[in-house]
Amino acid sequence: MKNKIALKLFAYFAIALLAFALISGMLFKTLFTRQVIETKKAEMLERATFLAQTLSTALSESSTSGKMSGGQGMGSGMGGYGSFVRTLSLTEQDVWVLDENLLFLTSGHRMDQTLQYDDLPPDAETLVQEVFAKQTPFSEGFSDLLGTPTLTVGVPIYQGQAVSGALLLHDAVSGIEAAASQGVQVLVYSGAAALLVSGLLAVFLSFVFAKPINRMKDTAHRLTSGDYSAKTGIVQKDEIGKLAHAMDGLSDRLLQAQLDTVWQEQLRRNFLASVSHELRTPVTVLRGSLEALCDGIVTDPENVKEYHCQMLKETVSLQRLVNDLLDLSRLQNVDFPIERSPLILNEALSDALYSASQIARHKEIHILKEFPNEALSFIGDYGRLRQMFLIVLDNAVKFSPNGSTITVSLVRGCVTVRDEGPGIAPEELDLIFDRFHKTSTEANHGGSGLGLAIAKQIAQRQGIRISVQSEPGHGATFRFEW
């Protein structure tokens, strides 16, 4: 993976640098050449204008002193002005002075004095015409004539308000191209050095990136093999760190799911063992009683009647156990429908209290109701809510001493059932809602250990939180909150 990432990073950097070098080289050459030529043009125009103004001044002085015959023409023998032009041809070797007919009044040392009209470039006439039109044009058409890339500027020479000559100033531009090429060459060398640095940087970055990625890959392999305790151990404040954090979170959830699966499997085994035990006892009693009756071992009418009563009692216990198991199985099935309709909670709780009072009457237990005057509405299953309250009330009656009081309070959002029994030991508070968990006391000898588990399932399906608070010797308080 490291090699692949390094190659990819190097390729990306190389492509980016090459594209940058190509674009920047083209832009540099174009902009540099343009800027230098513009600067050159400005310098040439300033110089040519100065020379043209000097010639114009000399021409004006020559006309004033009468040294020009009739003030017409600009021949090489025109007095002081002609002398000045000849002097200019010696000092300014790249300056030409032409008249409107393209006749040379002077030309630099580069041009032979025998230069004729036909020797001039094709755009020379156009250039001179623009100068006599009082413009300052530029041209590169004299390059072939002068034997080197040349830039030419034309400036008018004035006699009064009229243009009497065209001054052409030439300057070589071959050095500009050479300088631009050198600049591009420097860029090429810089790009090559940058490419080398980018290669080293790609190797370094590939190591930095690949190390945590390899660790996440190893962690993923361990997770797929079932080792849900695997962690990446990567702490970074970037996208890789976020990915590693998400993978560690996935590992935690998978580990928790595995532990829950083990726990559920253990609960299932315990449940099956408890069911087998609970079913075995009444079945064994029934079989023993029937065998004794069928074999004629018990013949006394009183004993036969006692056996029949015991068999009925065991059958009732067995039926209650089976019904509880069915209820619990249905409630734990999320697909099992629970009716939810508007009801008055006061009525459902009062119905459960009436049934509980019939049980409490045998122990002379008083049930105290603390209900509000207003009717409290609720959305739920009337029958299941009554069953839930009755299970808790039945437990309260079962464990309360004779002549005690059970207080049932109803307020908006909460129902409490408080008894005066022996209370619940702290180590059992978290276990009382488990299936088949029951205290081994005389008061609870006939219980199946499923009642509170059923009550909790009903509460969860109705959106109610059920909890218990108790201290040994001070009774217990069950709370239903929503």
C-alpha distances out from residue 135 to 101, 153, 162, 282, Å: 17, 10, 13, 127
How far is 415 from 480, CA to CA, in rounded Å? Answer: 5
- Averaged pLDDT, 197-208: 73
Render pLDDT for 256-285 as a digit per residue (tens, 0 to 9): 888 888 877 876 776 677 667 667 767 887
φ/ψ of 436, rounded to 5, equals: 65, 15
How far is 229 from 178, CA to CA, in rounded Å? Answer: 69
| Residues 343, 418 within the same domain | yes
Q: What is the CATH number of the domain that holds 44?
A: 3.30.450.20
| Residues 318, 377 within the same domain | no
SS (H, E, C) 100-158: CCCCEEECCCCCCCCCCHHHCCCCHHHHHHHHHCCCCCEECCCHHHHCCCEEEEEEEEE
Render pLDDT for 127-178 as a digit per residue (tens, 0 to 9): 889 999 999 999 888 777 777 788 899 999 988 888 888 888 888 876 666 6
Contact 278, 320 (CB under 8 A): no
How far is 218 from 465, CA to CA, in rounded Å? Answer: 43
| Residues 272, 352 within the same domain | no
How far is 174 from 108, CA to CA, in rounded Å? Answer: 19
| Residues 300, 280 within the same domain | yes
Look at the chain and report how many structural domains it folds into.
3
For the chain, state the CA radius of gyration.
Answer: 56
Strands (E), 131-262: 138-139, 150-159, 162-172
Range of the domain at 280: 239-331
Contact 102, 125 (CB under 8 A): yes
What does the block give as tokens for 195?
């490419």
Answer yes or no: is 467 within a domain. yes
How far is 432 from 436, CA to CA, in rounded Å? Answer: 9
What does the block give as tokens for 83?
């002398």
Answer yes or no: is 190 within a domain. no
How far is 258 from 216, CA to CA, in rounded Å? Answer: 21
Beta bridge partners of 368: 407
Answer yes or no: is 25 within a domain. yes
| Residues 312, 345 within the same domain | no
- As a dihedral over the C-alpha atoms of residue 442, residue 321, residue 282, residue 430, rounded to 10 degrees, the angle is -40
Q: Could you tell me what percent of the chain has a pLDDT over 90?
A: 16
| Residues 409, 382 within the same domain | yes
Q: What is the CATH number of the domain that holds 458?
A: 3.30.565.10
| Residues 95, 243 within the same domain | no
| Residues 248, 343 within the same domain | no
The SS3 assignment for 434 reads: coil
- Averaged pLDDT, 99-118: 59
| Residues 114, 249 within the same domain | no
Burial class (CB in 10 A: 0-12, 13-18, 19+), 205: middle
Answer yes or no: is 205 within a domain. no
Render pLDDT for 345-396 as a digit per residue (tens, 0 to 9): 999 999 899 888 888 888 899 999 999 888 999 999 888 898 899 889 988 9
C-alpha distances out from residue 142 to 8, 217, 473, Å: 53, 72, 121
Answer yes or no: is 233 within a domain. no
Last residue in a domain, options 272, 307, 331: 331
Last residue in a domain, options 279, 296, 331: 331
Answer yes or no: is 44 within a domain. yes
pLDDT value at 306 more than 60: yes
Answer yes or no: is 213 within a domain. no
Q: What is the CATH number of the domain that holds 293?
A: 1.10.287.130
The SS3 assignment for 373 reads: coil
The pLDDT score that the predictor gives to residue 83 is 60
| Residues 314, 349 within the same domain | no
pLDDT band (50, 70, 90) for residue 46: very high
| Residues 309, 457 within the same domain | no
pLDDT value at 73 more than 50: no
Render pLDDT for 387-428 as a digit per residue (tens, 0 to 9): 899 889 988 998 899 999 999 999 999 999 999 988 888 888
| Residues 455, 346 within the same domain | yes
Render pLDDT for 169-188 as a digit per residue (tens, 0 to 9): 888 876 666 666 776 677 67
Answer yes or no: is 211 within a domain. no
